[in-house]
């Protein structure tokens, strides 16, 4: 109850601020992402980090420049395993290109203020031919990105900004897509009318809010009973305790929906340790979850927010500096979901437990050691 | 007969009542998996509470215990980084950290004459800062299976009780050791004498600093052991220890320990920890959200102190 109250209060706060006004349950965006999931992406399916939906391209002939280039990157941080995998992947991508003379990187360590200063420093340095930005938060970084746009081609990826001045904004299909994939699986596979527990990391983050609203909408329409939506802070101990509490109350959970996979294994363990059969527990492409899934033979799904999207900004920057048109102002990459059918393609016990399998990094320099594998 | 009943610490009666209520509401708890899982979840808090009792009986508080639990989980996961062969030395290193933290707490209290509530509050903030800096604020690293053995593994096919969690065995061994030290050695007598009246104890030849160091070290080492169990139970977590020091103090007080020292037994403290855990379980079965448990914890802490004071006045103690 308190959680719901806090979430509502936070949502109200977000809506009350005009600059940050965002609707996390937008039927238009929901439909757009649902269509993308059903559509075929353009390009070679072997290199999903270069695929895109639709045919709207950004003209970049004005940015054409002779190489070799200096590419600059303002990173929000490497403060979670997803970003660690992505960052390793991006560095490997840079190594593949001889016409990148210099790759200048700043790490904002999760701070808006530091990232704004970082971008100013990069611009003042005057050596960047193109700037890649992975914003820490959407609203706070918008003015800094707008300033950069006036000086050089900017490519934004992962989280967005509230301006269309960058050449392109690279991201997978999106949060609604993630929620649609897992929501539809539960709607089709959980016992009819059964109880579903929704576990979320924290409120207020757009890519997580949209995952939640999409899945909730689908599961409610399918007649499932959402017994609770609880925040775990991405904490295993909290996750396990919450699931155990629901079990102890006598709730027969037909499924546990997760907005991210970091604590899926903890939710599974709660059932195991109480001697119960594990129901559907959704996850993501972390190796620990995939291996557990294979080991105990779950019936579940793992939507991904693929880390191969960290390859795309480097490739996009080089295309822009060659004056080659790229998808823009939005570049949506495919967002595959792992199912029991293709699980074997992604499980790899020689990679670390928190490695994200959809990294598209298997053919890259330094694989697997660079990603902590053996 | 009634006089003899009055002699029994009421914590045991409360515990019995709570168990009956839980059993009626949820028959699951009558099965071995039910009560064994209950004991498993209570094990870390019972160990922490008995460790805390040492400091309480010496006349102080140890507020740093919860932060040390967090540091143990975070530190172990980062040092281990998923490498199962490192488990043994990492466990030893963390126990060593416990000895250092406990000694530091005691020396600040003894030498610098800082009240223990302030000394350990400072230590709590310091340790939280170390854990936060070390981890970058997000759960990192991974705890291998052999580290998680203590907190998670269940021995199956045991006669009568079917399953036996390793955490429960750890709780029994650790608490038995702490019971022996408190109630069967001269050290235990010195500790209680010191908490009751430090000046009299000093005149009677009790080495106050040494006695205090051992009390704080027992508390800190119990926090490390609780951290190993909690890390094993659920894996890496950045706020696993938040508020545990207050739960431990609450458990000791429910068991009848007198704040500011001199009175408190290990058996009643374990019962106090079980009462606390049973209360949380009961509230959960009744469908109360988590924050309500904090309210109840606060209310029973105050009630326990009031009841204990009333009983002491009645008995003239």
Contact A265 B142 (CB under 8 A): no
Contact B142 A353 (CB under 8 A): yes
The whole-angstrom separation of Cα A282 and Cα A303 is 8
Contact A110 B137 (CB under 8 A): yes
Domain hosting B284: range is 17-312
Contact A233 B239 (CB under 8 A): yes
Q: Nearest-CA distance from A216 to chain B in Å?
A: 21
* Number of structural domains chain B divides into: 1
- For chain A, say whether B26 makes contact (Cβ under 8 Å): yes
Domain-embedded: residue B1: no
* Closest chain A residue to the Cα of B83, Cα to Cα: A352
- For chain B, say whether A227 makes contact (Cβ under 8 Å): no
* Option in B142, B239, B287 nearest A354 (CB): B142
Query: How would you write the pLDDT of chain A (374 residues) with one tens digit per residue?
Result: 344 444 444 444 444 444 344 678 899 999 999 999 999 999 999 999 999 999 999 999 999 999 899 999 999 998 788 999 999 999 999 999 999 999 999 999 889 999 999 999 999 999 999 999 999 988 899 999 999 999 999 999 998 899 999 999 999 999 999 999 999 999 999 999 999 999 998 887 788 899 999 999 999 999 999 999 999 888 888 899 899 989 988 889 999 999 999 899 999 999 998 888 999 999 999 999 999 999 999 999 999 999 999 999 999 999 999 999 999 899 999 999 999 999 999 999 999 888 999 999 999 999 999 998 88
Domain-embedded: residue B77: yes
Q: Nearest-CA distance from B207 to chain A in Å?
A: 41
* Option in B33, B240, B291 nearest A237 (CB): B240
pTM: 0.84
Contact A266 B234 (CB under 8 A): yes
CATH fit for domain A1-39+175-304+336-359, picks 3.40.50.2300, 3.40.50.720, 3.40.50.11740, 3.40.720.10: 3.40.50.2300
Among B135, B138, B241, B277, the strongest candidate for a mutation testing the A interface, having the largest count of A CBs within 10 A, is B138
Domain-embedded: residue B80: yes
Domain-embedded: residue B5: no
- Identify all chain A residues contacting B289, using CB atoms and an 8 Å cutoff: 1-3
Domain-embedded: residue B245: yes
Q: Give this complex's ipTM.
A: 0.80
CATH number of A48-173+306-335: 3.40.50.2300
Domain-embedded: residue B12: no
- Identify all chain B residues contacting A292, using CB atoms and an 8 Å cutoff: none
Domains A1-39+175-304+336-359 and A48-173+306-335 alike in fold = yes
Domain-embedded: residue B317: no
Interface of B with A in 205-264 (CB under 8 A): 230, 233-240
Domain-embedded: residue B107: yes
Q: Where are the domains of chain A?
A: 1-39+175-304+336-359, 48-173+306-335
């Amino acid at each position: 109850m308190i959680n719901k109250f806090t979430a509502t209060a936070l949502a109200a706060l977000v809506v009350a601020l005009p600059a940050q006004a965002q609707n996390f349950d937008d039927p238009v965006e929901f439909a757009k992402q649902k269509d993308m999931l059903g559509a075929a992406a353009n390009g070679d399916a072997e290199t999903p980090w270069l695929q895109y939906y639709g045919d709207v391209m950004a003209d970049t002939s004005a940015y054409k420049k002779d190489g070799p280039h200096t590419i600059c990157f303002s990173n929000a941080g490497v403060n979670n395993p997803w970003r660690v995998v992505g960052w390793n992947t991006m560095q490997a991508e840079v190594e593949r290109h001889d016409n990148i003379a210099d790759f200048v990187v700043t790490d904002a360590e999760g701070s808006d203020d530091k990232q704004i200063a970082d971008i100013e420093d990069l611009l003042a340095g005057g050596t960047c031919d193109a700037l890649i930005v992975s914003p820490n938060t959407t609203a706070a970084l918008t003015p800094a990105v707008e300033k950069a746009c006036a000086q050089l081609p900017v490519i934004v990826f992962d989280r967005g900004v509230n301006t269309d001045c960058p050449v392109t904004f690279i991201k997978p299909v999106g949060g609604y897509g993630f929620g649609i994939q897992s929501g539809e699986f539960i709607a089709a596979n959980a016992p009819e009318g059964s109880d579903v527990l929704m576990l979320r990391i924290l409120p207020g983050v757009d890519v997580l809010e949209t995952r939640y609203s999409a899945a909730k909408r689908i599961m409610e329409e399918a007649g499932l009973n959402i017994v609770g939506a609880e925040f775990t802070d991405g904490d295993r101990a909290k996750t396990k305790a919450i699931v155990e509490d629901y079990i102890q109350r006598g709730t027969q959970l037909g499924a546990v929906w997760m907005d991210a996979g970091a604590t899926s294994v903890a939710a599974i363990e709660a059932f195991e340790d109480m001697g119960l059969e594990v129901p559907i527990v959704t996850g993501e492409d972390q190796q620990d979850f995939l291996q557990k899934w294979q080991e105990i033979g779950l019936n579940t799904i793992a939507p991904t927010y693929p880390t191969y999207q960290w390859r795309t900004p480097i490739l996009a920057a080089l295309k822009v500096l060659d004056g080659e048109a790229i998808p823009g102002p939005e570049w949506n990459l495919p967002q595959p979901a792992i199912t029991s059918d293709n699980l074997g393609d992604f499980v790899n016990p020689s990679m670390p437990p928190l490695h994200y399998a959809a990294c598209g990094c298997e053919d890259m320099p330094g694989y697997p050691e660079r990603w902590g594998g053996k | 007969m009634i006089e003899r009943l009055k002699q029994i610490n009421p914590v045991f009666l409360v515990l019995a009542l709570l168990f009956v209520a839980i059993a009626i509401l949820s028959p699951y708890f009558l099965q071995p998996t039910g009560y064994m899982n209950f004991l498993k979840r209570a094990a870390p808090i019972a160990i922490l509470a008995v460790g805390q009792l040492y400091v309480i009986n010496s006349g102080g508080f140890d507020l740093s215990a919860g932060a040390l639990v967090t540091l143990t989980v975070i530190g172990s996961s980062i040092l281990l980084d998923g490498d199962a062969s490192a488990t043994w030395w990492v466990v030893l290193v963390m126990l060593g950290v416990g000895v250092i933290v406990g000694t530091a707490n005691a020396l600040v209290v003894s030498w610098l004459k800082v009240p223990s509530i302030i000394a350990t509050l400072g230590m709590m903030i310091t340790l939280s800062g170390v854990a936060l800096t070390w981890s970058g604020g997000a759960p990192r690293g991974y705890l291998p299976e052999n580290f998680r053995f203590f907190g998670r593994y269940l021995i199956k096919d045991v006669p009568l009780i079917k399953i036996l969690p390793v955490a429960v065995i750890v709780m029994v061994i650790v608490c038995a050791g702490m019971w022996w030290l408190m109630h069967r050695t001269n050290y235990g007598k010195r500790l209680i004498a010191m908490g009751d009246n430090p000046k009299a104890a000093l005149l009677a030849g009790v080495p106050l600093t040494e006695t205090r160091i051992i009390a704080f070290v027992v508390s800190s080492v119990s926090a490390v052991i609780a951290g190993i169990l909690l890390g094993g139970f659920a894996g890496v977590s950045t706020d696993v220890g938040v508020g545990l020091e207050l739960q431990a103090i609450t458990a000791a007080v429910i068991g009848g320990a007198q704040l500011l020292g001199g009175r408190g037994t290990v058996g009643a403290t374990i019962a106090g920890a079980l009462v606390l855990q049973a209360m949380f379980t009961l509230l959960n079965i009744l469908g109360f959200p988590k924050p309500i448990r904090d309210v109840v914890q606060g209310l029973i802490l105050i009630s326990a102190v009031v009841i204990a004071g009333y009983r002491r006045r009645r008995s003239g103690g």
